[in-house]
Copies of this chain bind each other. A is one copy, B any other.
Amino acid sequence: MAGKEDLKLLGLLVSPFVIRVRMALSTKGVSYEYVEQDLFNKSELLLKSNPVHKKVPVLIHNGKPLCESLVIVQYVDELFAGPSILPTDLYERATARFWAAFVDDKLCPAWFGIVMAKTEDERAEKVTETSAAIGQMEEAFAQCSKGKAFFGGDSIRYLDIVLGSFLFWFDAVRTMYGVEIISANKVPLLAAWAERFGESAEVKKVVPEVDVAVQYANKLLAAYAAAAAKRIGSD
């Protein structure tokens, strides 16, 4: 990349999806302006930049918006010099994309279901789903890491970023509901990986404290309850 890059990231400190983009930019050593958003009162800039989903992250590069975390991470990887975030081997790259889609399609909704469940039965069901998905990620780790420290080998790379961005939320779920998502008994490889991931200085820079996630979850739950009460009131 030649010339001066103008990079602005619309984010939310507790969003795993935003953390992915911050880690990708940090891997490439790229500096950017970070602009925290209030999702309870969305800014004009956010609504204009992501009219389809109205969500963070949005990376605005030289005035042009990019949305969806996995799309942005790949864009950052393809655009900037520095360590390759996705595997360079094409079969390994396809495998990493497969598991990234799995995290977003299966693991993420199951985890979010634990946070937002309305009943204990519903929560128990989501815990089972999450555990099943985590069990499959244990196999994915064995397949991708080939005995090394990270999904990406010796360093934190694509799948580390994709899954690792959720780890502090798994801690939050333990604090809130006593649910252990990554347990050393059941998924020893992932548990050891999670520890290594959390020790990284780059990770520490962008991942908030567990309490911040718990507070945000409580705010979200209160907002949902208020909206539900309003709907019942208007019936």
List residues of chain A with CB under 8 Å of any chain B CB: 52, 61, 64, 66-68, 70-72, 74-75, 78-79, 90-91, 93-94, 97-98, 101-102, 136
| Pair B97/A71 contact, Cβ less than 8 Å | yes
> Could you say which of B66, B91, B136 contacts A94, with CB atoms under 8 Å apart?
B66
A98 to B98, CA, bound (A): 16
Closest to A50 in B: B98
CB < 8 Å neighbour of A74 from B61, B72, B97, B136? B97
CB distance from A167 to the nearest CB of B (A): 22
Copies of this chain in the oligomer: 2
Q: How far is the CA of A94 from the CA of B52 in the complex (A)?
A: 15
A68 touches B101 (CB 8 A): yes
9 A-B contact pairs sorted by A residue (CB < 8 Å): A52-B136, A68-B98, A68-B101, A71-B98, A72-B94, A74-B97, A75-B91, A75-B93, A78-B90
Residue among A61, A78, A97 having the largest count of chain B Cβ atoms under 10 Å: A97
Contacts of A102 in B (CB 8 A): 52
A52-B136, A74-B97 known; 19 new pairs, CB 8 Å cut-off, are A52-B102, A61-B91, A64-B91, A66-B94, A66-B98, A67-B98, A68-B98, A68-B101, A70-B101, A71-B98, A72-B94, A74-B94, A75-B90, A75-B91, A75-B93, A75-B94, A78-B90, A78-B93, A79-B90
- Alpha-carbon distance A97/B67, docked complex (angstroms): 10
A5, B35: Cα distance in complex, Å? 48
The answer for the CA separation of A201 and B74 in the assembled complex, in Å, is 33
- Residue from A61, A101, A136 having most chain B Cβ neighbours under 10 A: A101
A12 to chain B, nearest CB (A): 19
Residues of chain B within 8 A of A91, CB atoms compared: 61, 64, 66, 75
Which residues of the other chain, B, contact A98 by a CB distance below 8 angstroms? 66-68, 71
Q: How far is the CB of A5 from chain B (nearest CB, A)?
A: 13
CA distance A67 to B100 in the complex (A): 12
**A68 cross-chain contacts in B, Cβ below 8 A:** 97-98, 101
**A163: shortest Cβ distance to chain B, in Å?**
15
A108 to B124, CA, bound (A): 29
